[in-house]
Amino acid sequence: MEDAVITIGDADFNFSDLQPEAQIIVQRVRMLRDQQQQLQIQMIESERTINAWSADLHDLVHAVEEDEEESA
C-alpha cells in the first residue's frame, strides 16, 4: 500500500506521501468499507435464509392442514 495512489476529494496522493495520521485514517476508512461490504453480504444472506425458512414453514403448515382435512 506504500505506493498506492489515494484519491481524496478531487486530488490524487501517493499513500507514502501522506502524513502518518492521514495514512492511519485511510487504512481505517478502507477497513470500514470492507466491513460495510461484508455486512451487506450478510444482510443479503440473512434475507435469503429468512425467505427460504418462511417458505419452508408455509409448506409445513399447509401440509399439516391438508393432513388434518384428509383425516376428518
User: pLDDT at position 72, please?
Assistant: 63
CB 16 within 8 A of CB 2: yes
pLDDT in tens, 16-49: 999 999 999 999 999 999 999 999 999 999 999 9
Q: How far is CA 69 from CA 43, 61, 63, 72, in A?
A: 39, 12, 10, 5
User: pLDDT at position 58, please?
Assistant: 92
* pLDDT above 70 as % of the chain: 96
pTM of the model: 0.68
